[in-house]
């Protein structure tokens, strides 16, 4: 079946509001999409026998599907926001950057910020996370200071930016890439430097009434559930929270035990999760492609999110603009197999 290009032919949100208005033709299309999804990489047929109506209900009640605005940034603001709405999303992770209007935290244009925030508000789209992703321990001093200044602007001015949650990475000592590892990442000294910066941000966020959410990654300093748990023990702050991305924890050798690994993450730090991401993990463990193009057991991931029993945005990322309908439908179909 060809992927839908507009959400009006399927569920607008995971609570089933639009689904209840579906006619026979639409339901047949949805059934065909389910069959098509079963042929995609990463689909686990074992979950078909493990459906849980109670968790399905919790998921539809609490999980709100959103998207990273990155694929829409080449469009003018009004067109981008309309397309996000038409694609069925109710929340965004945004960089506040579009073809005709751009907010730069290092050179704030508050009129531009207001225009962006109002455009999302008018369409009923919530800004679930501000894009504060910087290498907080960048070994190049000038870049590190620019990153800290960017974060400070987003945290201290969150009310003007429409979002109290500022998401960021945990950093690497690699000089070439924010997403490449370095030997120093694994050292105690590296951890201490990361902790000091995150504590600075957390205290700043406390004063501003904001939240800093960190996204661990196995190539960064906070690279495992052990270090995630430790950072939250070391920094006791209601202003420090977790971005849940299950594809960032497993190294290649962990893929055979991915389910128990994720269950361990949820058991130990699930109470810290403030927002969740939807992408995938490649079979070689070295890449994180779009949802449905890897080996993540999506129904099981959604079960774990539903089990938290609180509202959360689930934000699709690592997609191109033309691939968004397919990735969205893949995730929506997984809700039927929770």
Pair of tokens at residue 262 = 């994720």
Rounded CA separation 314/326 (Å): 16
pLDDT of residue 50: 57
Tell me the CA distances in angstroms from 88 to 1, 21, 64, 155, 333, one per residue in order. 19, 15, 10, 28, 14
pLDDT of residue 228: 98
CA 302: distance to chain centroid? 13
- Where are the alpha helices (H) located in the chain, listed in sequence order? 24-37, 53-62, 77-86, 110-122, 141-156, 158-161, 188-208, 225-234, 258-269, 298-306, 324-335
Of 132, 287, 281, whose CA–CA distance to 214 is shortest? 132
Q: What is the dihedral of CA 82, 85, 87, 93, to 10 degrees?
A: 100
What angle in degrees, to the nearest 10, is found between the helix axes of 188-208 and 225-234? Answer: 50
Q: What confidence tens digit (pLDDT) does each residue in 8-24 have?
A: 333 334 544 333 333 33
Q: What confidence tens digit (pLDDT) does each residue in 44-91 have?
A: 333 333 578 999 999 999 999 999 999 999 999 999 999 999 999 999
| Residue whose pair of structure tokens reads 């057991």 in the numeric block | 297
| Residue whose pair of structure tokens reads 């600075």 in the numeric block | 200
Of 38, 113, 46, 124, whose CA–CA distance to 86 is shortest? 124
pLDDT in 10s for each residue of the chain, 338 residues: 323 333 333 333 454 433 333 333 343 333 333 333 333 333 333 333 357 899 999 999 999 999 999 999 999 999 999 999 999 999 999 999 999 999 999 999 999 999 999 999 999 999 999 999 999 999 999 999 999 999 999 999 999 999 999 999 999 999 999 999 999 999 999 999 999 999 999 999 999 999 999 999 999 999 999 999 999 999 999 999 999 999 999 999 999 999 999 999 999 999 999 999 999 999 998 999 999 999 999 999 999 999 999 999 999 999 999 999 999 999 999 999 99
Q: What is the DSSP string of 30-90?
A: HHHHHHHHTTSTT--GGGGG---HHHHHHHHHHEEEEEESGGGTTS-HHHHHHHHHHTT--
Rounded CA separation 188/212 (Å): 23
CB contact at 8 A, 137 and 101: no
Q: Which CATH superfamily is domain 7-335 in?
A: Divalent-metal-dependent TIM barrel enzymes (3.20.20.150)
- The partner residues of 247 in beta bridges, in order of sequence, read none
Tell me the CA distances in angstroms from 67 to 32, 81, 92, one per residue in order. 24, 11, 5
């Amino acid at each position: 079946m060809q992927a839908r290009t507009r959400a009006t032919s399927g569920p607008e949100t995971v609570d089933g509001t639009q689904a209840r208005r579906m006619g026979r033709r639409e339901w047949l299309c949805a059934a065909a999409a389910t069959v098509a999804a079963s042929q995609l990489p990463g689909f686990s047929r074992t979950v078909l026998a493990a459906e849980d109506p109670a968790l399905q209900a919790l998921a539809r009640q609490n999980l709100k599907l959103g998207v990273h605005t990155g694929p829409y940034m080449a469009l003018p603001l009004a067109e981008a926001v309309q397309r996000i709405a038409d694609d069925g999303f109710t929340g965004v992770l945004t960089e506040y950057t579009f073809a005709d209007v751009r907010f730069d935290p290092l050179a704030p244009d508050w009129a531009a910020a207001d225009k962006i925030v109002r455009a999302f508000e008018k369409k009923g789209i919530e800004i679930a996370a501000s894009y504060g992703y910087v290498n907080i321990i960048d070994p190049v001093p000038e870049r590190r200071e620019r990153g800290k200044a960017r974060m400070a602007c987003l945290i201290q001015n969150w009310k003007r930016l429409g979002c109290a949650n500022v998401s960021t990475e945990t950093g690497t000592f690699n000089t070439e890439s924010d997403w490449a590892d370095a030997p120093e990442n694994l050292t105690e000294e590296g951890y201490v430097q990361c902790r000091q910066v995150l504590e600075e941000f957390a205290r700043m966020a406390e004063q501003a009434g904001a939240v800093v959410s960190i996204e661990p990654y196995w190539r960064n300093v906070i690279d495992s559930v052990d270090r995630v748990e430790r950072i939250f023990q070391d920094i006791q702050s209601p202003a420090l929270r977790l971005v849940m991305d299950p594809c960032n924890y497993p190294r290649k050798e962990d893929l055979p035990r991915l389910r128990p690994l994720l269950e361990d993450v949820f058991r130990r730090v699930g109470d810290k999760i403030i927002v969740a991401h939807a992408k995938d993990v490649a079979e070689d463990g070295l890449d994180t492609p779009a949802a449905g193009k890897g080996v993540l057991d999506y129904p099981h991931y959604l079960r774990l999110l539903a089990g938290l029993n609180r509202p959360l945005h689930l934000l699709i990322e690592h997609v191109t603009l033309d691939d968004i309908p397919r990735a969205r439908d893949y995730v929506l179909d997984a809700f039927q197999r929770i």
